[in-house]
Amino acid sequence: MSGQLTLPEKPKSKFSLYKRIVIFIIIALIYIWTFTSLEIRWDTIFSESTLDNMDRIIPKFFQPAVEETGNILEMMFETLFIAYTGSLAAAIIAVPLAFLCASNMVSNKFLNNIGMWILGGVRAFPEIVLAIIFVAAVGPNPFAGVLAIAIGSTGMLGKLYSEVIESIDMNIIEALEASGANKLQILFYGIFPQVLPEFLSYAIYRFEIDVRASSVLGIVGAGGIGTLITFAYMNRNWEEVGMILLVIIITVTIIDQISGFIRKRLV
């Protein structure tokens, strides 16, 4: 029996073939266009001076300035503090915005959209741009970094939170409503137990991202290890840059591991 069984032929459509060709041509054109308009000077890239620089600089990365460790670690901790404070603030600010956006909590479409616009608008700014704005506003110190991280993270956390809220089991809300509980009691007994573990998980994930983001904020003067990178780079002190990179890589890896472990236990 099974020997005679043949799969019915897959319906072919000429349209899909044309579509594929057209898409391929469009992508190829965009590719060619970007490369030609960038004016990459291949001759300088593959010149002797590049090889010289490589030969001179790259090895220095691998002879990190160990004697600077204390100073670098201090700045690394400042970076972590900036990330932590910023993420924590964002994790809290994002909650009311997320409820505003969640269509099962606020049934007014207009208010939902306002919430979405706020979060979308905030997400449109890269942290570094926010940092420049806040350095201008509050001066070149770690507080500017904290603000940049807090505002930048709110956009993403608010969006993710609101998706979590929209996915909760509304029957539980109905059950509490039926027992005569008021809105605040429903929030604390029906909604928070369903969403808080996920909120926390996303907040920790965002902290991971913020540690990376706050490492470069110092470049524009917003505190943290980025300040050291700028100084070392301007002085062509490649050994120190190497050491800074090493510290960042190790710290970020450790944080990733810890956060992954906690997040796995949470949900």
Partner 1 sequence: MIEFNDVSLVYPNGTEGLKNIDLKINEGEFVVIVGLSGAGKSTFIRSINRLVTPTSGSLLVEDEDILKANGTDLRRLRTKIGMIFQSYNLVKRSTVLKNVISGRLGYTGTLTSILNIFSKEDKLLAYENLKRVNIEEKLYNRADELSGGQQQRVSIARVLTQKPKLILADEPVASLDPPTSHQVMKYLKQINREDKITTIVNLHFIDMAMEYADRIIGMRAGEVVFDGPVSDVTEQTFEEIYGRSIRDEDRRGGVEDE
For tokens 């904020």, name the residue: 217
Q: Which amino acid is at 158?
A: G
Of positions 175, 249, 250, 254, contacts partner 1 by CB under 8 A: 175
What stretches of 10-108 show up as alpha helix (H) in DSSP?
Answer: 14-38, 42-45, 48-61, 69-101
CA proximity to 248, closest of 225, 217, 220: 225
d(CA 213, CA 55): 30
44 binds partner 1 (CB under 8 A): no
DSSP state of 242: H
Query: Considering only 39-47, 118-126, 138-146, 175-183, which stretch makes contact with partner 1 by CB under 8 A?
Result: 175-183
d(CA 215, CA 229): 9
Closer CB to partner 1, residue 167 or residue 235?
Answer: 167
Smallest distance, Å, CB 103 to partner 1? 18
Smallest distance, Å, CB 179 to partner 1? 5
67 binds partner 1 (CB under 8 A): no
92 binds partner 1 (CB under 8 A): no
Closer CB to partner 1, residue 99 or residue 238?
Answer: 99
Smallest distance, Å, CB 31 to partner 1? 49
For tokens 């600089």, name the residue: 57
CA proximity to 150, closest of 92, 221, 78: 92
Smallest distance, Å, CB 256 to partner 1? 26
User: Length of the chain, please?
Assistant: 267
Closer CB to partner 1, residue 219 or residue 266?
Answer: 266
The first and second tokens of residue 27, run together, are 């992508």
200 binds partner 1 (CB under 8 A): no
CA proximity to 204, closest of 145, 264, 138: 264
The footprint of partner 1 on this chain (CB under 8 A) covers a number of residues equal to 20
DSSP state of 141: S
The number of beta carbons lying within 10 Å of the beta carbon of residue 22 is 10
266 binds partner 1 (CB under 8 A): no
Span 111-170, contacts to partner 1 by CB under 8 A: 169
Closer CB to partner 1, residue 164 or residue 229?
Answer: 164
Smallest distance, Å, CB 73 to partner 1? 39
Q: Please, is 43 exposed, middle or buried when counting C-beta atoms within 10 Å of its C-beta (0-12, 13-18, 19+)?
A: exposed
177 binds partner 1 (CB under 8 A): yes
Of positions 88, 197, 209, 219, contacts partner 1 by CB under 8 A: 197
185 binds partner 1 (CB under 8 A): yes
Angle at 253 between CA 249 and CA 257, to 5 degrees: 175
Smallest distance, Å, CB 190 to partner 1? 6
**Residues that bind partner 1 in the complex, under the rule CB under 8 A:** 169, 171-172, 174-182, 184-185, 188-190, 193-194, 197
